[in-house]
Amino acid sequence: MNDLVNKYELNLRKEYAKTRKAKIITIFVILALVIAMTFVCLFVGSSNMSISESFMALFRQGSATNIKIMWNIRVPRILAALIAGAGLAVSGLIMQTTLGNVMASPSTLGVSNAAVFGANLSIIAFAGGFLSLGNNVQDFSSGANPYATSLMAFLFSFISILIILGLCKFKDFSPNSVVLAGIAIGSIWTAGATFLQFFATDVGLSAAVIWNFGDLGRATYEIDLIMGIVVIVGVVFFAICAWKYNALLGGDMIANSLGIRVNVLRFISLLLSSLITAVCVSFLGIIGFVGIVAPHSMKRILGNDHRYSIPSTILAGSLLLLIADTLSRGIANGTALPVGAITSLIGAPFFLYLIFSNRRKSI
């Protein structure tokens, strides 16, 4: 009998080691794809630089114009894609786990809605709208401050997070309360942005609408540094708590029985993931579906173990945004489309697939 038990345990260990090895190999394959896509993204653009000219510019050789395009435009843009893609994707994964909702994403708590309101307030009321400058495009260009707009977008996103989490603390901190509070508060921010746009001048309205487009072209090294610091802090915390998220998958009762303070973990996790989203959205605009497509793709390939789903989701988010950015600059001849539109085109069909596949499973 003991021999049978020992043999069974040995087979289980071999099977576990084999599965673990396959998952690690998969993660490294995705990493290799990210690296390859990074170089492809470096060599694609509207400037019509050849691959050899792009390669020379990468090493600061060739014409001054090519070097400037490479280091002042393409490199910051690619860094933004890597950082924002990783941040939005891992935020989506953590929100889905902590809220117990497979459809949760960085927009669940109304963070994006609040950012839009803050940006609209800055652009329409203080830079190009009904309070000061009228319809003079030159006055708007001189009065608008992109950092002020990003700061306002971030502040209102942060306020929205605190309001939602505060409201949930008054009653209870169940996942349903968070989702419903997020929907309600998000609707208020959307209504406020609509009122601002209704009273805006033509210049202010067009500037506000353009801001809403997710655009990696706004990225600078300073913006990349700020986003990178916030994303790294969040990722480190999520990685440390990976086993706690695994326990949370079994339900609050099981997690509590293991000594995990579920409400505290949920609060901190949602706060950090929302802050990551707020920072990325405030600088780059609305980039949708990354927080849904990347986590679900990796969970279907590698399973729900957060020791593997967190790093793979980070890489998948970066890869998705790199592909979207390459398409945005390669589809239109001589211009770059908003990357947010590309991610929506990719993500919307995937979202519908998730809805109907889950429905079939429930049947």
What's the chain's length in residues? 363
- Provide the pLDDT for residue 134: 45
Q: What is the pLDDT of residues 268-310, one digit of tens each?
A: 998 899 889 989 988 998 898 899 889 999 998 999 999 999 9
> What's domain 10-362's architecture?
Orthogonal Bundle (1.10)
Picking from 26-30, 92-96, 181-185, 319-323, which range would have the lowest pLDDT averaged per residue?
A: 181-185
Q: What is the largest CA-CA distance in the chain?
A: 88
pLDDT at 135 over 50: no
pLDDT at 162 over 80: yes
pLDDT at 15 over 60: yes
Instruction: Give the DSSP per-residue string, 100-162.
Output: T-TT--TTTTSHHHHHHHHHHIIIIIIISSTTTTTT-HHHHHHH--HHHHHHHHHHHHHHHHH
Predicted confidence band of residue 1 (pLDDT cuts 50, 70, 90): low
pLDDT at 142 over 60: no
- Provide the pLDDT for residue 265: 93
Q: What is the pLDDT of residues 19-62, one digit of tens each?
A: 889 999 999 999 999 999 999 998 887 777 888 888 898 888 88
Angle between helices 221-240 and 262-284 (to 10 degrees): 160
- The answer to whether 98 touches 266, Cβ cutoff 8 Å, is yes
- Provide the pLDDT for residue 7: 61
> Which two structure tokens, joined as six digits, stand for 145?
């401050």
